[in-house]
Structure 1
């Protein structure tokens, strides 16, 4: 029996699928850690927690379906070239579920834009684009299942609309969020608030730019290389990027305590969350007499920005004081 013919460009059919699945698994592991940290340190409203855990559930389903694709292509279809171009359940776990996850995260950011800007038309416009890309993703998945060949999808319009809509929505969200956050930063006179807004602006630019770039790269590969599966690799990471983006924004509220070199590492117990009982720690070390004074203030709710600013200027708190003596004797 003669060996099956192997085309010279076989790597363009196998490598994108395998690498895309590796990115998918890796980002799912990162997302799992982020969700675990969120579970440990935050007790947000029911709606926010439902959003986080629903996204994680969808990502677990998407990862399971993607794993089924790899088993179908490289295990069940081992040595059979026809299996490499068979969509199997790929149209479900990529355009459909990735579009749904992207829409969920984008609508959350759209709601934040509405809160920041109080501009309902702008929020409706961005939300409409987000919903449209999700619908296009579902249509693209249905059409891919009907075609039955991953190398013959270049003539379809729906995948292009899905990827273009995701990129446009991410770009609009990044621009709008940065503009309104920057405007709020310009109006604020509190250094603590300015620092927080600056950090949120940086995160918004980095995360949304990354997801938009992946969508644009996928669109370019889909149009430029229609006869192979290069366009499959980037979108395997697209849904996970959206979910990780949201968890990065949420978990960014965690604060790491100062490490003076006394401990080798900071474990989970060394983390404090911003929505727990707030603790403001201001330390001053007097070198002459070896006295270290640590002043703590603990309140039930979130302190105002003005309170934080006054505390940093005065260094005096009225709730609790703790004084510890160093080894050096006091003169």
Structure 2
């Protein structure tokens, strides 16, 4: 006979293991960020610090709600059937982390595209998913039995569905803008393609995980969906940090700002990747909000020139006259006609 903990705490245990593994990756990414991007603005560093703190608290809470029923209440079947108050913190923390990450990407969409309707739509979906996550946490406190979680499935649908829609909208907006603004030069298009791939990978991973979590929750009353739900917060933070840390590979280090609008410190110049006659120049408007890039192409024009030279002819046997006439053909008209005479006394 299977243990009573198998149905519920089996998926919870697997989900917590994935959560901790992703937390280790988050530690590495945070360390790399503060090591490499020391010139980022203070608000950005504070934002990353708050995200890391939230991730740490979420990881501690997840370990606690596994430890309490399996260790403190060992051999207590009732403790295995009901969720504790610590378990209710997981949907709340996940919703808060998702809100912070999605609003950051919403700001990025605003900076890049300037599309107010897209920004409003993404922000609306993000706030709705936050409300759904907080509502799920409250519902878990009111109905703690794991087998009765289906009773508040409406609020869970709002939480996960709007989260997936927000992530998908962010991905579509960024990819559409980047594809529209390709330059036609292989050097810059390679960079744009790398950014597009990174955007699709980070955006669709969280959206796909939320959709799978929702399908598993609606299709099975067991705790199977918790395998995908518990690591969801770490997927959001890691997607953001991977996007920030990958800026060094975009070769936008020393020209001002990357996609996040921050000053880079990699020391690489995008002009080093351009052809010799192509130069990228950035200008800073007076309001200091956005940096505009202008691409200048030096066009060289070469004209064929006809040169006429007269051979030396001796004059009076005492001197030698050399006359050189140079004509340059430009649109059929002579533009330079210098004449030089040299006399050599015998």
State whether TM-score is above 0.5. yes
Distance 1:240 1:57, change over 3 A: same
Q: Deviations over 1:128-170 (max 9, x none)?
A: 1101100110011001111111221112121121011111111
Match of 2:121 in 1: 125
Structure 2 distance, partners of 1:136, 1:130, is 10
- The answer for unaligned runs of 5 or more in structure 2 is 251-262, 273-290, 299-346
| 1:245 aligned residue (231, 239, 244) | 239
The 5 A counterparts of 1:102-141 are 102-141=98-137
Residue in 1 aligned with 2:13? 18
Q: Work out whether residues 126 and 172 of structure 1, in 8 Å CA contact, stay in contact via their aligned partners in 2.
A: yes
Match of residue 39, structure 1, among 17, 34, 37: 34
Q: 1:207 maps to which residue?
A: 202
CA contact (8 A) 2:61 2:87 kept: no
Q: TM-score, normalised by structure 2?
A: 0.71
Q: How far apart in 1 are the matches of 2:266 and 2:147?
A: 56
**Counterpart Cα distance in 2 of 1:90 and 1:23:** 18
- For 1:1-331, what aligned pairs fall within 5 Å after superposition? 10-42=5-37, 43-156=39-152, 157-185=154-182, 188-226=183-221, 228-255=222-249, 275-276=264-265, 278-279=267-268
Of structures 1 and 2, the one scoring higher in RCO (CA 8 A, sep 6+) is: 1
Task: State which structure, 1 or 2, has the greater radius of gyration over its C-alpha atoms.
Answer: 2
Deviation at 1:206, TM superposition (A): 0.9
CA distance in 2, matches of 1:277, 1:210: 28
SS at 2:138's partner residue? helix
**Structure 2 residue matching 1:89: 3-state secondary structure:** coil
Q: Over aligned residues, Cα RMSD in angstroms?
A: 2.8
Number of matched residues? 269
Q: 1:29 to 1:8 in 2, by over 3 A?
A: closer
Deviation per CA, 1:236-269, whole angstroms, max 9, x where unpaired? Answer: 110000000010011102349xxxxxxxxxxxxx
